[in-house]
Every structure is written in structure tokens, then in C-alpha cells.
A = this chain, B = another copy of it.
Amino acid sequence: MQHYPKHYCGVFGIFGHPNAAQLTYYGLYALQHRGQESAGIVTSDNGHFNEYKGMGLVSQIFKGEALSELTGNMAIGHTRYSTTGSSHIRNAQPLTGNCRLGRIAIAHNGNLTNAAQVRDELEAQGLMFQTTVDSEIVLNLLAQPTLGGHDNNLIETVRRIEGAYSLCILTERELIGVRDPHGFRPLSIGKVDGAYVLASETCAFDLIHAEFIRDVEPGEIVVIDKNGLRSIKAFPEHQRRAFCIFEYVYFARPDSTIADRNVYKVRVEMGRELAREHPVKADLVIPVPDSGNCAALGYSLESGIPFEMAFVRNHYVGRSFLQPSQLIRDFDVRVKLNLIGNLVKGKRVIVVDDSIVRGTTSKSRVNNLKEAGAKEVHVMVSCPPHMNPCVYGIDFPDRSKLMAANHSLEEIRQYLNADSLHYLSQDGMVKATGLPKSNFCMACYDGNYPVKYDSMVDKHIMERRVGK
């Protein structure tokens, strides 16, 4: 049923709170949309580490006694959809280990682009890898003896890895937050009851009544210990920023704020831009819920065309496994959203969604509207066409399956059987954020990859090496 770029990972960390594990649990709960495959929490209790990991949703994993055994006032947590390393409990994060520095744990959001190479080097030295997660490389780098002290160790580690990474690291005495120099993935700092918290998105702060302090800066390492928060700039020379613009378009929760911009507002603005770029005469604007809601509202507000929630989202979809039915045509599409047919009968309809990746789902929606008697169906997409795969942690299909990479606008419109089809322009998208274009990664739209990558790198690369 997932027609979509899969979510990847959410990370959370807290230092100096008597209920560290419980708050981490709620933090992960709020970050659940960033990964539904597995989750885990590690706490540090006076140097003793406790951990609990499982497959499934956060609320399924941490039931019964699990949380109460996670004692200690420091914790990190992780929720994961695999982008590197396949689906297995052994690959669930946080990863933990014991090394010359004592106990250490790591939670990682993003995707390293030089994982294979660094791993080969470490293995040649006699190191052993027990998982196929790229984060294990970071763990082993941290364990390497280094010239200089603790900070040097951290700096040497992050300077040796490339790609996208927002990290929460737990040692016996500290909580450490790291963001790669491009700042691909978000990572924010908050405070609750005097304790520092780190989270992938600010919506995690709301649930636990934590106050938002600031974002971790691209290239910044923040070390939080009993003396407070200390900042290390690991890449002082690095200029280029490359925040993933797709977080604004789709991934992040609308109630999060990133780089001072509320996601909901950015999306409404994208809808307004769309209305400005592509005015169309119609009777109704309807969203494809939930990802299309904000942009549709923006389109409606800007155009004055009434907003109707004609697609009703089933409350129970996804609550547990529902097998696709061979028996029922378009089952996957209908089971999630049911159309109220007589709202659209005889109407000219604008339908708004955030993106079209493979196209099959959109085609079914248009078909659904036409069968219900819609006179015209105009498809509006609140970002530009996806032309390229993402190598920084988002699981798009191969280029060969990306609709827009292989077909003209007109071909796609015909395939969808829509009366018209419009995408927001690259400039419109950027403009809606209110930030300069240079702040963003937009590689999946414009092919301009901020960090070079080995074209062989893909989700299963670590496993494949195994059989070499």
C-alpha cells in the first residue's frame, strides 16, 4: 500500500532526567512517522547500560515491563525504516558496544556514502562487523585509538565519514549530538525540567512539554554532560548547506518547525504558489489526505475555490497488517481513502497531492473521481517532478521506475487520465520556504548531488559484500 518514499529514521536523546527512558519513549512515539520497522532505547545508569529493541511500532515494542527496566537518567532512542542494512532485529538501533572508552551507543539518521570503503579499511586492520548497518562503522571508528583526547576522537570520526548523518551518541557520562556538515537531516535541541533533549523533529518536544532551544548546526558536535552543553565545530571550513527540501514537502510532520519555518505553513504556501503558477477554473479543491491537506488548503485560499474533504481517510488503515485483496479492484487505494461520490458528481475538481512517484496510485484516484461522475479532474502536485534517486537516506524507487524520469508531462497526464496535470516549479517550491536555494539539497529534482557517491551504493550493499 506504501506507494511512497519510505520513511527512514528518527533519533532522540536526553541527558539528566530521572524519567529518561519514558520521555525517550514518548519522543520516539512522536517520531514514529520517521520509521515504523523497528525501534530501540538505550539508557545509561551510572555507567551500566540498559537496552531494549524490537521490531514494529514504538507502542508495540515498549509495552509491559520493558520501560521500567530501562533505568538511568541518560538515554538515546531510535526508530527505523531500513535504508542501509536489511530488515532484522540485529540491525535495529541504537547499536551498542564496549570499547577502550567504556560503553557506547549510537542512533543514526541518514545514509553514509562512503560506508563500504571505510569498512574495508577497518576490516583489513582486524576488525569484525556483526551487523550490516552503516552506523556500526561509526561505532568502530569511535573505538579507534587516536592521537589527542576525546574531542579529537569525535572529530576524527566524523571527518572520516561522508554523506548524511544526524547522530545521537551515548557514552557512560555524556550525550553527544552530531549533524553532518551539509545538514541533510534535521536535529534540534530542547530542554525539559532543566534537562537537555535532542530530537529529529520539534513535534517530539511538544508532546513532552519540552521547550525548543535551537537546531544543531550543520557540522556541529554538541557534547552534553553534567557541566552543560559544549559545542565543537568539526568542519569550520565547510560552507555548502544541503538540507533535504523533501522534508518540507512531505516527510516531516506538519506540526514540526525546521530552520525556523513551520512545516504546515510552508506547505500551505506551496499550495498558494501552485495556485499562482497554475490557476485553473474549477468547482472544488480536494486534497489527497493527509499529505495533500495543507497544499490543497493553500490552493483553495489563494484561488477562492471551495475546499472539500471528499476523500475520507480510514482510521484503521495500518493498525495491523491488511493483505492486499486480489478480489477487489484498486483495493489498496480504496481501503485507505474512500471517496464521497456525490460530492464530486458533475463537478470540476482540482485534486492536490504532495508528489507522484510511481503514478499508479494517482491514476486510481483520478479513475475513482471520474467513475463517481466528476466532470473534470485537474491534478496538482505541490513539488516539482522527481527525476533522480536519493542517496542520502530516502528510499525512492530506482530511476527506471520514477515516472517523471522516463515520461513527459503530457505522457503522464494521459496515463493518469487527468484533464490537466501541474507541478510546482523548483523556484516556487524554494520560494515557499522563504529560504535561499543554496540552503537545500534538491538532488532528486535537479540532479545536483551535494556529496558524490559510489553509484553501486544502495540499500543492500552491505549484505551483498558478504557473499563476495
Contacts and interface: CB of A to CB of B under 8 A. Distances in A.
Interface string A37-57: 000000000111100000001
A319 B468 contact: no
B128 A255 contact: no
A51 to B, nearest CB: 8
A343 B261 CA distance: 12
A265 B97 CA distance: 48
A403 B17 CA distance: 38
Interface string A313-356: 11110111111010111010011001111110000000000000
Interface stretch (A8-16, A26-34, A386-394): A26-34
A7 to B, nearest CB: 11
Interface string A201-227: 001001111000000000000000000
Interface residues of A, number: 89
Secondary structure class of chain A's binding surface, majority of residues:
mixed
A41 to B, nearest CB: 15
Contacts of A123: 98-100, 143
26 contacts: A23-B327, A26-B328, A26-B335, A30-B314, A30-B338, A89-B89, A98-B123, A98-B465, A100-B126, A102-B466, A103-B466, A123-B143, A125-B145, A126-B143, A126-B144, A127-B128, A127-B143, A206-B338, A207-B328, A207-B331, A207-B338, A262-B343, A264-B312, A297-B309, A315-B318, A319-B320
Interface of A: 19, 22-23, 26, 29-30, 32-33, 46-49, 57-60, 63, 89, 95-100, 102-103, 123-130, 132, 139-140, 143-145, 203, 206-209, 253-255, 257, 262, 264-265, 290, 293-294, 297, 301, 306-309, 312-316, 318-323, 325, 327-329, 331, 334-335, 338-343, 465-468
7 closest cross-chain pairs (CB), A and B:
A97-B128, A47-B467, A255-B312, A126-B144, A128-B143, A48-B467, A319-B319
